[in-house]
Amino acid sequence: SQQGEEDPQALSIQEGENATMNCSYKTSINNLQWYRQNSGRGLVHLILIRSNEREKHSGRLRVTLDTSKKSSSLLITASRAADTASYFCATDWDSGYALNFGKGTSLLVTP
Protein backbone atom coordinates (compact mmCIF):
# COMPACT_ATOMS: atom_id res chain seq x y z
CA SER A 1 0.00 0.00 0.00
CA GLN A 2 1.12 3.58 -0.58
CA GLN A 3 2.49 5.34 2.43
CA GLY A 4 2.94 8.85 1.11
CA GLU A 5 0.12 11.16 0.27
CA GLU A 6 0.64 14.33 -1.72
CA ASP A 7 -1.39 17.45 -1.44
CA PRO A 8 -2.85 19.01 -3.49
CA GLN A 9 -3.80 16.34 -6.03
CA ALA A 10 -3.70 18.95 -8.77
CA LEU A 11 -2.18 22.40 -9.00
CA SER A 12 -2.48 24.96 -11.80
CA ILE A 13 -0.31 28.07 -11.86
CA GLN A 14 1.14 30.56 -14.31
CA GLU A 15 4.72 30.74 -15.44
CA GLY A 16 6.89 32.63 -13.01
CA GLU A 17 4.83 31.72 -9.97
CA ASN A 18 6.03 29.36 -7.25
CA ALA A 19 4.53 25.90 -6.85
CA THR A 20 4.35 24.19 -3.47
CA MET A 21 3.47 20.53 -3.02
CA ASN A 22 3.17 18.70 0.26
CA CYS A 23 3.68 15.10 1.21
CA SER A 24 2.65 13.29 4.38
CA TYR A 25 3.77 9.80 5.35
CA LYS A 26 2.95 7.33 8.10
CA THR A 27 5.98 5.49 9.44
CA SER A 28 9.53 6.48 10.34
CA ILE A 29 11.90 6.89 7.42
CA ASN A 30 15.60 6.99 6.58
CA ASN A 31 15.12 9.44 3.75
CA LEU A 32 12.50 10.98 1.51
CA GLN A 33 12.82 11.54 -2.21
CA TRP A 34 10.90 13.54 -4.78
CA TYR A 35 10.46 12.29 -8.33
CA ARG A 36 8.94 13.82 -11.41
CA GLN A 37 6.98 12.00 -14.11
CA ASN A 38 6.03 13.25 -17.55
CA SER A 39 3.21 11.71 -19.54
CA GLY A 40 2.69 8.75 -17.22
CA ARG A 41 5.99 7.11 -18.10
CA GLY A 42 9.42 6.95 -16.50
CA LEU A 43 10.19 8.83 -13.32
CA VAL A 44 13.13 11.15 -12.86
CA HIS A 45 14.79 11.66 -9.51
CA LEU A 46 14.77 15.28 -8.34
CA ILE A 47 16.11 15.45 -4.81
CA LEU A 48 16.69 13.35 -1.70
CA ILE A 49 16.52 14.59 1.88
CA ARG A 50 17.70 12.47 4.80
CA SER A 51 15.82 12.10 8.06
CA ASN A 52 18.40 14.20 9.91
CA GLU A 53 18.09 17.09 7.44
CA ARG A 54 15.47 19.81 7.61
CA GLU A 55 15.95 21.63 4.32
CA LYS A 56 17.72 21.06 1.04
CA HIS A 57 18.12 23.06 -2.15
CA SER A 58 18.85 22.09 -5.74
CA GLY A 59 18.57 24.79 -8.39
CA ARG A 60 14.98 26.05 -8.34
CA LEU A 61 13.92 23.25 -5.98
CA ARG A 62 13.63 23.56 -2.23
CA VAL A 63 12.63 20.61 -0.07
CA THR A 64 11.80 20.65 3.61
CA LEU A 65 11.30 17.74 5.96
CA ASP A 66 9.55 17.73 9.31
CA THR A 67 9.93 14.27 10.84
CA SER A 68 7.85 15.23 13.90
CA LYS A 69 4.90 15.90 11.63
CA LYS A 70 5.87 13.20 9.15
CA SER A 71 5.62 15.67 6.30
CA SER A 72 7.68 17.18 3.51
CA SER A 73 7.19 19.97 1.02
CA LEU A 74 8.60 20.61 -2.42
CA LEU A 75 8.83 24.19 -3.63
CA ILE A 76 9.54 24.98 -7.27
CA THR A 77 10.42 28.63 -7.69
CA ALA A 78 9.89 30.70 -10.83
CA SER A 79 8.01 27.88 -12.54
CA ARG A 80 8.20 27.26 -16.27
CA ALA A 81 5.82 25.56 -18.68
CA ALA A 82 8.38 22.74 -18.89
CA ASP A 83 7.77 22.01 -15.17
CA THR A 84 4.33 20.65 -16.09
CA ALA A 85 4.39 17.07 -14.82
CA SER A 86 3.32 14.84 -11.95
CA TYR A 87 5.42 14.99 -8.80
CA PHE A 88 5.71 12.13 -6.34
CA CYS A 89 7.26 11.82 -2.93
CA ALA A 90 8.76 8.46 -2.07
CA THR A 91 9.88 6.99 1.22
CA ASP A 92 11.94 3.90 1.82
CA TRP A 93 10.14 0.56 1.95
CA ASP A 94 10.55 -1.85 4.88
CA SER A 95 13.55 -3.45 3.19
CA GLY A 96 15.21 -0.06 3.11
CA TYR A 97 15.78 -0.01 -0.63
CA ALA A 98 12.50 -0.20 -2.51
CA LEU A 99 10.39 2.93 -2.58
CA ASN A 100 6.91 3.68 -1.30
CA PHE A 101 5.27 6.33 -3.49
CA GLY A 102 2.36 8.63 -2.86
CA LYS A 103 -0.39 9.28 -5.40
CA GLY A 104 1.30 12.39 -6.72
CA THR A 105 0.51 16.01 -7.44
CA SER A 106 -0.30 16.93 -11.02
CA LEU A 107 1.22 20.33 -11.78
CA LEU A 108 0.14 22.43 -14.76
CA VAL A 109 2.15 25.54 -15.54
CA THR A 110 0.54 27.75 -18.17
CA PRO A 111 2.51 30.31 -20.20
Positions in the binding site for another protein (CB under 8 A): 2, 4, 30-31, 33, 35, 40-45, 48, 88, 90, 92-95, 97-104
* CA dihedral over 24, 30, 36, 42, signed as positive or negative: negative
Q: How far is the CB of 97 from another protein (least distance, A)?
A: 6
Total residues belonging to the chain: 111
* Closest CB to another protein among residues 13, 48: 48
* Closest CB to another protein among residues 42, 111: 42
* Closest CB to another protein among residues 18, 98: 98
CA-to-CA distance for 94 and 97, rounded, in angstroms?
A: 8
* Structural contact between residues 12 and 110, judged by C-beta atoms closer than 8 angstroms: yes
